[in-house]
Amino acid sequence: MSDKPKSQTVLVVGGGIGGISAALEAAECGAEVVLIEKAPTLGGRVAALNRYFPKMCHPTCGLEINYQRIKKNPRIKVFTMAEVSGISGSKGDYTVTVTTTPRHVTPACTACGDCAKVAASEVADPFNYGLAKMKAAYLPHAMAFPMRYVVDPSVVGTPEGQAIKAACKVEAINLDEKPESFALQVGAVIWATGWKPYDPKNLTMYRHGEIADVITNVEMERLASHDGPTKGHILKPSSGEAPKKVALIQCAGSRDLNHLAYCSRICCLASMKHAAYVREQYPEAEVDIYYIDIRAHDKLEAFYQKAKADPGIRWIKSKPSRIEKGASGEPVVCGENTLSREVYANAYDLVVLATGMQASAQPPAGAQLDDYGFVVSEEGVFGAGVATGPLDVSMSVQSATAAALRAVQAVRS
Amino acid sequence: MNAISPNPSRAYDLNFARYVYENIDGGERLRMCMQCGACSGSCPIGQQMDHGPRKLFMMIRAGMKEAVLTSNTIWNCVSCYNCVVRCPRKVPITYILHDLANLAVREGFDAAKKADNARFAKAFMWSARKYGRTDERLVTGIYYFSFGLLEGMKRGMGNQKIALNMIKTKRMHLGMPHAIKAKDELQNILAKAQEIQDRHGKGA
């Protein structure tokens, strides 16, 4: 048979919850799987969340189970700090070029942390969305997979780099590592390239970055996380004090033809979860949720009803028109309450923008995209998780499982 | 195409929303309004409006023709375009409000004829047509006296000091009104504009 697939390997691009799920489902069906991730660790954006709605469980739990499944499955090969730089061929016979970025740390690393102790310079911490800095020799986060440090390229060739190398007892540091390229022969490709939060700088009327106490929903997750910059205490970035009045603004960028034309689906529930974080930490605090309409998708109406029953949460039906700076630098949310017709200007200690989900920064090379930049599945090339559109974690896993099934069919027929 | 109900005193017109969608400048995008309130919240004089754009648009959908066309919202818009820039559905709110004001005048609503902006616009257009430019004294005079002889004198006297200062700084002149050179060309432009507007008003 001439159309028999030449390669039975499935390539999964992206090691977030979608990519991990797709890789596992395909491998557990018996397919050979290569999972590549551009960051130094698997886990993606899920690892940066504090809790999941609606059960408020910790993402680390699900990640841990999946990491165990990966470790136990000999059919999965994982490459971190690797990206697809080119793809050619057709269903059953793709040649994929993968480029790796040097980690400067070999698999001999025991994650003892001695290198971080001697590292002096600090670099931006993407895991904490820039809310904190980290040492130039770092473990990406506590739930890193592989559990291996990374040496930032900024210290290579400096005395600090030499000190870091010298500090390693197991001689796991290799400062001479260079970017590399290799080719893979695969039969099917799953793009699980995920998403990025919509850049709040585009929302000029909400003045994120200009007023310190205006943050985004992903930053809120980090503030609430025990391994975050505030050790899990939700504090005002301006002063480090506990907030008494918190505003959560829905549709910050979503459902807006000037920004993201679609509904990002997860933000309503995420904000209700944030309201729960605040109310749990500060029972006296007041939370106002500004919304156009609440979209508690799927079976999550019950979570909404529970939040509605909380007397500490006020629901204001309005898309705030702007945020102004109050006399002492505090954010003042302005707009029209569409139920009472009242034009309001309410001051808060903390404002959280529910920024939407945007397709990943670099669209996967050669993938077919829809009008919004999300992946459209084709013969042999499939989208999984948020690469295909805004989804919550459970839906992302469902989408990934579906993509794995299609990929397995593609390499077997 | 839908016709507006012929009787201007009728409070409700079930065809009104469709009429606005099809005939009012920018009305077509009004279908997209999702009542988020970004417009009314953005409005620098939103507090002075009886309804504000968002509610007014809902009233249009409800067929409240009379209430819409006698609202002060359509007259108070200052064309700052804050709402147009922020509208998540790209509704050209400013155009719609201005054309609704125009419709209110055409439909002969008393409130529209008496609106401050309508009086001023009338005086302004008179001067523009006659001289090709605004003559501050005449425009102000016609506008003030549109409120009646007594009120006109009162307003005139009240602004005497400003007027004298304007003369002193040459922002207002004494003597015959200045006119532009090619008045007939301007008249042609205005006639064409009127023609386009009339055609537009008929849903062409």
pLDDT in tens, A285-331: 999 999 999 999 878 999 999 999 999 999 999 999 999 999 999 99
Residues pairing with A215 in the sheet:
A352
- Distance from the Cα of residue A355 to its chain's centroid: 13
**pLDDT value, residue B2:** 60
Class of domain B16-114: mainly alpha
CB B37 within 8 Å of CB B54: yes
Q: Do B55 and A205 touch (CB under 8 A)?
A: no
Measured torsion, CA atoms of residues B9, B10, B12, B15, in degrees rounded to the nearest 10: -110
**Amino acid type, A155:** V
Could you count the other beta carbons within 10 Å of the beta carbon of residue A41?
A: 21
For residue B58, CA distances in Å to B64, B89, B90 come to 9, 15, 16
> How many H helices and E strands in chain B?
14, 0
Q: Give the integer Cα–Cα distance in Å for A161 and A109.
A: 16
- Please indicate whether, in this complex, the C-beta atoms of A343 and B42 are within 8 angstroms of each other: no
pLDDT band at B204 (very low <50, low <70, confident <90, very high): very low
Assess B53–A contact: CB distance below 8 Å, yes or no.
no
Residue A411 has pLDDT above 70, yes or no: yes
CB A364 within 8 A of CB A386: no
Assigned token pair, B25: 């400048």
In whole angstroms, give the CA distance from residue A268 to residue A355.
Answer: 10
Contact (CB, 8 A) for A201 and A209: yes
Tell if the CB–CB gap between B41 and A258 is shorter than 8 Å.
no
Q: Which candidate, B177, B175, B174, B171, places its Cα nearest to that of B130? A: B177
Select the residue of A259, A292, A337 nearest B34 (Cβ to Cβ): A292
**Given this model, what pLDDT does residue B71 score?**
95
Do strands A188-191 and A381-383 pair parallel, antiparallel, or not at all (unpaired)? parallel
Which of A77, A96, A47 is CA-nearest to residue A367? A96
**Burial of B171: CB neighbours in 10 Å, binned 0-12, 13-18, 19+:** exposed
- Whole-number pLDDT of residue A364: 67
Question: Residue A158 and residue A155: Cα distance in Å, rounded?
Answer: 5
Assess whether the region A9-101+179-194+360-412 and the region A199-356 belong to the same CATH fold: yes
Question: Residue A3: pLDDT above 70?
Answer: no
For residue B203, the model assigns a pLDDT of: 44
Beta bridge partners of residue A311, listed in sequence order: none
Task: Report pLDDT for B8.
Answer: 54
Second CATH level (architecture) for the domain A9-101+179-194+360-412: 3-Layer(bba) Sandwich (3.50)
When pLDDT is cut at 50, 70 and 90, the band that residue A222 belongs to is very high
Q: Is the pLDDT of residue A218 over 50?
A: yes
Query: Do A322 and B35 count as a contact with CB atoms less than 8 A apart?
Result: no
β-pair partners for A378: A381
Q: List CB contacts (< 8 A) between B46 and chain A.
A: 336, 343
Instruction: State the first-to-last Cα distance of chain A, in angstroms, to the nearest integer.
Output: 10
* Cβ(A37)–Cβ(A360) below 8 Å: no
Cβ of A292 within 8 Å of Cβ of B89? The answer is no
Q: Nearest C-alpha of chain A: how many angstroms from B58?
A: 11
B86 pLDDT more than 90: yes
> How many CB atoms are located within 10 Å of the residue B108 CB?
11
Contact A205 B86 (CB under 8 A): yes
The residue type of A33 is V
Report the C-alpha gap between A384 and A15 in whole angstroms. 11
Residue type, A64: E
Query: How many CA atoms within 13 Å lie on the side-chain side of B64?
Result: 12
- Listed by start position, the domains of chain B span 16-114, 116-197
Alpha carbon A201 to its chain's center: 18
Letter for the amino acid at A279? Answer: R
Please give the ipTM for the structure prediction. 0.87
Tell whether the model's pLDDT for residue A236 goes beyond 90: yes
Residues of B in contact with A251 (CB under 8 A): 36, 88
Going from the C-alpha of B98 to that of each of A89, B72, B77, B102, B195, the distances in angstroms are 58, 12, 8, 6, 18
Neighbour tally for A7: CB within 10 Å: 18
Judging contacts by C-beta atoms under 8 Å, the chain A residues touching residue B40 are: 335-336, 338, 341, 343
Q: Which of A341, A342, A344, A346 to mutate to test binding with chain B, by most B CBs within 10 Å of its CB?
A: A341
Q: Mean pLDDT over all residues of chain A?
A: 95
What residues pair up with A135 in beta bridges, in sequence order?
A122
Dist CA B137 CA B166 (whole Å): 11
Is the CA virtual torsion A202, A208, A209, A210 positive or negative? positive
Write the single-letter amino acid at B189: I
For the residues of B82-119, what is the DSSP string, one character each? HHHHH-TT---HHHHHHHHHHHHHHTT-HHHHH-HHHH
Token digits for B125? 């257009």
pLDDT per position as a tens digit, B31-64:
999 999 999 999 999 888 999 999 999 999 999 9
CB A136 within 8 A of CB A160: yes
Q: Where are the domains of chain A?
A: 9-101+179-194+360-412, 114-167, 199-356
> A137-140, long-range: CB within 8 Å, 24+ apart, which pairs?
A137/A164, A139/A111, A139/A113, A140/A39, A140/A40, A140/A41
B145 with B152: CB under 8 angstroms? Answer: yes
| 3.50.50.60, 3.40.50.10420, 3.40.50.11600, 3.30.565.10: CATH of A199-356 | 3.50.50.60
Q: What angle do CA B10, B13, B16 make, to 5 degrees?
A: 130
- Residue B199 pLDDT level (bands cut at 50, 70, 90): confident
Residue B60's pLDDT is what?
96
Q: Report, in angstroms and rounded to the nearest whole number, the Rg of chain A calculated over CA atoms.
A: 23
Helix (H, G, I), strand (E, B), or coil: what is residue A155? helix
**Which structure tokens are listed for A67?**
């990491």
What's the confidence (pLDDT) of residue B170? 87
Q: Does B86 touch chain A (CB under 8 A)?
A: yes
Question: Are B36 and A343 a contacting pair at CB < 8 A?
Answer: no
pLDDT tens digits along B3-21: 666 565 578 888 999 999 9
CB A243, CB A285: distance < 8 Å: yes
Between the CA of residue A300 and those of A149, A400, B44, B58, what are the distances in Å?
A: 39, 21, 38, 30
Q: How many beta-carbon pairs below 8 A join chains A and B?
A: 67
